[in-house]
């Protein structure tokens, strides 16, 4: 049952519109899926960036601790040297005292 002048029936026009909707729904669904994937990847990138920032901070803290540790070792070495010098002076004083004791006992 075709209509005069190449006109289509309303049911066939509705059917054609439904077909158009179906074909446009698929690409929209694909686009939505792609957008969700992009959002997920963006979230992962943000998380990885935060993690990298935290790692960098930890590395900086470790470097500071290493520097402090080197300073402490240096100061510790200086203290050890001063202690050895002091021990040497104490030994000299003890020897001097012994010599004075010997002299006093002789007199």
Q: For residue 94, what pLDDT is reported?
A: 95
Q: How many domains does the chain have?
A: 1
DSSP 107: -
Domain range for residue 18?
A: 12-82
In a domain, 100, yes or no: no
In a domain, 89, yes or no: no
In a domain, 74, yes or no: yes
Give start and end residues of each alpha helix (H) in the chain: 10-106
In a domain, 90, yes or no: no
DSSP 1: -
Which tens digit of pLDDT belongs to each residue from 12-37?
A: 888 888 877 776 667 888 889 999 99
In a domain, 41, yes or no: yes
Q: What is the mean pLDDT of each run of 10 residues along the chain (107 residues)?
A: 67 83 74 95 97 97 96 93 94 93 84
Q: What are the backbone angles phi and psi of residue 7, rounded to the nearest 5°?
A: -75, 150
């Amino acid at each position: 049952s075709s209509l005069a002048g190449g006109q289509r029936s309303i049911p066939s026009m509705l059917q054609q519109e439904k077909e158009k909707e179906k074909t446009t729904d698929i690409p929209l669904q694909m686009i939505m899926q792609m957008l969700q994937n992009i959002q997920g990847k963006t979230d992962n990138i943000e998380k990885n960036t935060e993690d990298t920032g935290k790692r960098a901070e930890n590395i900086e803290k470790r470097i500071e601790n290493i520097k402090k540790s080197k300073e402490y070792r240096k100061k510790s070495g200086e203290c050890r040297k001063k202690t050895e010098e002091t021990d040497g002076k104490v030994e000299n004083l003890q020897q001097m005292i012994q010599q004075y004791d010997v002299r006093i006992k002789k007199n």
